[in-house]
Amino acid sequence: MRKLNELKRKARLTGLLLSGLGLMAVSPAFGGDAGCAPSCTPDQPNACCTKVYEEAGTKLAAELERLTAECCAPKTCAPTCTNPDTCCGEEESGDDGDCCSGRLTRLFDDCDGCGNFLEDNGWKLSGWLEFGITFNGNRPANDLNTPGVGFNQADSQFMLNQLYFVLEKDAAANEDCFGWGGRVDLLVGSDAADTAVFGGPNNTPNFDGTWSNNDNATANQIGLAMPQMYASFYAPIGNGVTINAGHFYTLIGYEVVPATGNFFYSRAYTMQYNEPFTHTGVLASTDLSDNLSVTGGITTGWDDFQNQNNEWSFLGSIGWTSDSEDTSVTFAISSGGENDAFGGTSNLTIFSIVAQQKLTDNLSYVFQHDHMFFPNNDANAAGVTAEAYGINQYLFYDICDSTRAGMRVEWWRDHNGTQLGNPGTNYYEITAGLNHKLNSCIQVRPEIRWDWADGADPWTTKSGATKDSQFTVGTDVILVF
């Protein structure tokens, strides 16, 4: 689609150029003054001839500008766009002329078609819709694909995973001045229960943890969550310092909650069972150099909105990127007091290492390692440190502009059984899939996945028996707006 649109655009421009040059060469009437035609030739210039060529060139330039910046988005009040800067047809907008990105923001266009209430004040509204289905070869009696798989946990059921909205303002829009901004994320769908806060005072869910019964939600229940809500402040100090205060996503790991941030429909064990999703607190970030960036701050702990035990945690990361941007390494850590299995407070620490390497123009590789330590969280062994750790590896290959293939291979160990209830069990999964963009609005992500475990039979079959493996086939569709 992108290539076809580009060819059509170039054909129009080339045709216009050729016809315009031909007209200028043979018809001085193009300039609006045919009376001087007999003496108006390129080798016999005069004042009248100069006028002809100047006016013809002006008309041609105006027509070229109109075609290059033509609007492809429908306007609610104005039939045409009189300001090319607000048009979505420009190549630099990144939407390939399909008018997907920024569509929600354009709902706030002024009636003259050239102003926008949100953009004029530095804000942007965007979002996406994700829905899908997953089939489990075990046909589990409980209709669940768990453990593993992630948010697409319902077997053979259509799932509305995410109807997601983002309202944001970039505090660092002008890097030379102090600035403010913020972001609010709103999630409607079956992923809400997995994304809402889990903890609170006395381990009682609060904030969005109780919205739409998120604390008692079933696998395919539509809920409401607000995984991010923070204010941002920017100061032009050094290379620039940004401070976020409020509720925000974690720095830990590679995979994320928003569907548009992942390659696969399903999630890794490390993301689902080993890492926090959100934090509440204050984070500051800056670039120490062109290659090195740091982030650090304090939070109330894992997946809570209020401080449940008057303990604070440190959350931070340091990242390095090569000059070519082909290689990057990020180390992130969260460490602080959390309620343990014996009613006390112990230090919960998790760190992750994510390394990314571009191998060729089409091939890239990602390595991730997580390790979580939590003393006194094994209810069967006081004083023992509960641990869970794993390694994920990803390989991605760009088949063409619209299609990408990927594979994920993972090993994860629930050493003490505190996460899934099976001490000493190793979990493995291999996932292969495609990302195909029908256009810049719509993406389809089919995948196949095989999970297995040694040391336990954690999956349910149709008869209600248990099994040490499962095979799933799934796909989702993401519509960006």
DSSP structural state of residue 68 = H
Rg (CA), the chain: 28
Q: Do the Cβ atoms of 431 and 460 come closer than 8 Å?
A: no
* pLDDT-based confidence at residue 34 (cuts at 50, 70, 90): very low
DSSP structural state of residue 74 = P
Question: What span, in angstroms and rounded, lies between the C-alpha atoms of 127 and 163?
Answer: 8
Q: Report, as an integer, the average pLDDT of 284-300.
A: 97
Q: Do the Cβ atoms of 134 and 94 come closer than 8 Å?
A: no
Give the model's pLDDT for residue 65.
Answer: 56
Taking residue 214's Cβ as centre, other Cβ atoms within 10 Å add up to 22
Give the model's pLDDT for residue 32.
Answer: 41
The domain ranges of the chain are 1-68, 126-162+188-201+250-480
Please state, for a pLDDT cut of 70, what percent of the chain lies above it: 77
Candidate ranges 45-59, 102-116, 191-205; pick with highest mean pLDDT: 102-116
End-to-end distance of the chain based on CA atoms, in angstroms? Answer: 18
Written as one letter, the residue type at 369 is: H
Which carries the bigger pLDDT value, residue 301 or residue 430?
Answer: 430
pLDDT at 156 over 80: yes
Give the model's pLDDT for residue 233.
Answer: 98
- Who's near 475: CB < 8 A, 6+ residues apart? 132, 133, 265, 444, 445, 446, 447
In tens, the pLDDT along 91-112 reads: 344 444 445 667 788 888 877 6
Which carries the bigger pLDDT value, residue 73 or residue 114?
Answer: 114
Least confident of 131-140, 299-308, 357-366: 299-308
Q: Calculate the CA 278 to chain-centre distance.
A: 15
Q: Do the Cβ atoms of 194 and 155 come closer than 8 Å?
A: no
Give the model's pLDDT for residue 225.
Answer: 93
Residue carrying structure tokens 């998790």? 350
In tens, the pLDDT along 206-218 reads: 787 788 777 777 7
Q: Do the Cβ atoms of 451 and 148 come closer than 8 Å?
A: yes
What three-state secondary structure class fits 440?
Answer: coil
Give the model's pLDDT for residue 57.
Answer: 60
* Token reading at 111: 């009636």
pLDDT at 236 over 70: yes
Residue 55 sits at φ, ψ, to 5 deg, of: -70, -40
* pLDDT-based confidence at residue 327 (cuts at 50, 70, 90): very high
DSSP structural state of residue 376 = T
Q: Report, as an integer, the average pLDDT of 230-236.
A: 98
In tens, the pLDDT along 427-463 reads: 999 999 999 999 889 999 999 999 999 989 999 999 9
**Closest to 451 in 3D by CA, of 132, 130, 134:** 134
Give the model's pLDDT for residue 249.
Answer: 97
Omega prior to 147 cis, within 30 of 0 = yes
- Cβ burial of 196 (10 Å; 0-12, 13-18, 19+) is buried
- Who's near 479: CB < 8 A, 6+ residues apart? 128, 129, 130, 441, 442
Question: What span, in angstroms and rounded, lies between the C-alpha atoms of 258 and 228?
Answer: 11
Give the model's pLDDT for residue 54.
Answer: 60
Question: What span, in angstroms and rounded, lies between the C-alpha atoms of 223 and 188?
Answer: 6
pLDDT at 137 over 80: yes
**Closest to 353 in 3D by CA, of 285, 251, 201:** 251
pLDDT at 127 over 50: yes
Taking residue 302's Cβ as centre, other Cβ atoms within 10 Å add up to 23
In tens, the pLDDT along 379-423 reads: 888 888 899 999 999 999 999 999 999 999 999 999 999 899 899
| Mean pLDDT value across the chain | 83
pLDDT at 242 over 50: yes
Give the model's pLDDT for residue 77.
Answer: 41
Give the model's pLDDT for residue 59.
Answer: 60
Question: What span, in angstroms and rounded, lies between the C-alpha atoms of 95 and 2?
Answer: 10
**Closest to 52 in 3D by CA, of 38, 67, 63:** 38
| Helix (H) / strand (E) containing 59 | helix 47-68
Alpha helices in 246-307 (DSSP H): 269
**Closest to 464 in 3D by CA, of 132, 143, 71:** 143
In tens, the pLDDT along 256-272 reads: 999 999 999 999 999 99
Taking residue 324's Cβ as centre, other Cβ atoms within 10 Å add up to 7
* Token reading at 389: 């750790």
Q: Any idea which fold 126-162+188-201+250-480 has?
A: Porin (2.40.160)
| Helix (H) / strand (E) containing 386 | strand 385-398
Q: Report, as an integer, the average pLDDT of 453-476.
A: 95
Q: Do the Cβ atoms of 152 and 132 come closer than 8 Å?
A: yes
CA 110, 111, 114: angle at the middle one, nearest 5? 55
Give the model's pLDDT for residue 25.
Answer: 43
Taking residue 344's Cβ as centre, other Cβ atoms within 10 Å add up to 11
Question: What span, in angstroms and rounded, lies between the C-alpha atoms of 136 and 254?
Answer: 26
| Helix (H) / strand (E) containing 473 | strand 469-480
pLDDT at 230 over 70: yes
| Helix (H) / strand (E) containing 205 | none
